[in-house]
Amino acid sequence: MDHYVDITLRPDPEFPAPLLMNALFAKLHRALVSHGAQLGGRLGASFPGHVGTGRALQLGERLRLHGEASALDTLLASDWLAGMRDHSMPAPVAPVPAGAQHRVVRRVQAQSSPERLRRRLARRHGLDPAEAAQRIPDSAAQTLRLPWVQLRSS
């Protein structure tokens, strides 16, 4: 992944930035699925402007796509930004600077549903629901303090 492109959201008085970022990421997801093996595993995404302080956890107003120049050019040549052109400004594909710092970005998922954990425990160990509820209390739910994107995959 030696190149990148930044897609910046334009300010819009009607739509807040988190809503636009969710829509932009959903379009990216659909584009990656439609290009399949042509781009599969050759692109990454990050949110360099994310804000994670206090209660305002947001992805920010910039989506950065990382990858080989050919993969980024292929994606940008397709019409995946249709409908978002009024709300976004893609920059040209640029090489990663020589002294750039790198960071690992990955999906994090919390065990946020005690009810699901109870059903799994009961199914795996042959317990009745009451015993599973006793072993896994409601306080076992985990929450994360990270920005997130809301996505529905078809």
Closest CA to 48 of 85, 110, 16, 91: 91
pLDDT attached to residue 109? 82
Q: Coil, helix or strand for 30?
A: helix
pLDDT attached to residue 54? 62
CB 143 within 8 A of CB 114: no
The encoded tokens of residue 88 equal 């976004």
Q: How far apart are CA 33 and CA 43, in angstroms?
A: 12
For the cut 70, the answer to whether the pLDDT of residue 55 exceeds it is no
Choosing from 3, 29, 35, 50, which is the catalytic residue?
Answer: 29
Overall average pLDDT of the 99-128 stretch: 87
Q: How far apart are CA 34 and CA 78, in angstroms?
A: 10
Q: Coil, helix or strand for 72?
A: helix
CB 28 within 8 A of CB 90: no
Q: Residue 94 phi/psi, 5° resolution? A: -130, 150
pLDDT attached to residue 12? 92
CB 147 within 8 A of CB 59: yes
Q: How far apart are CA 89 and CA 61, in angstroms?
A: 11
Least confident of 8-12, 17-21, 58-62, 144-148: 144-148
In this predicted model, what pLDDT tens digit does every residue of 3-41 receive, in sequence order?
999 999 999 999 998 899 999 999 999 998 888 777 767
pLDDT attached to residue 149? 82
pLDDT attached to residue 41? 75
For tokens 């020589």, the residue is 98
Is 29 one of the annotated active-site residues of the chain? Answer: yes
By CB atoms closer than 10 A (0-12, 13-18, 19+), residue 100 is exposed
For the cut 80, the answer to whether the pLDDT of residue 107 exceeds it is no
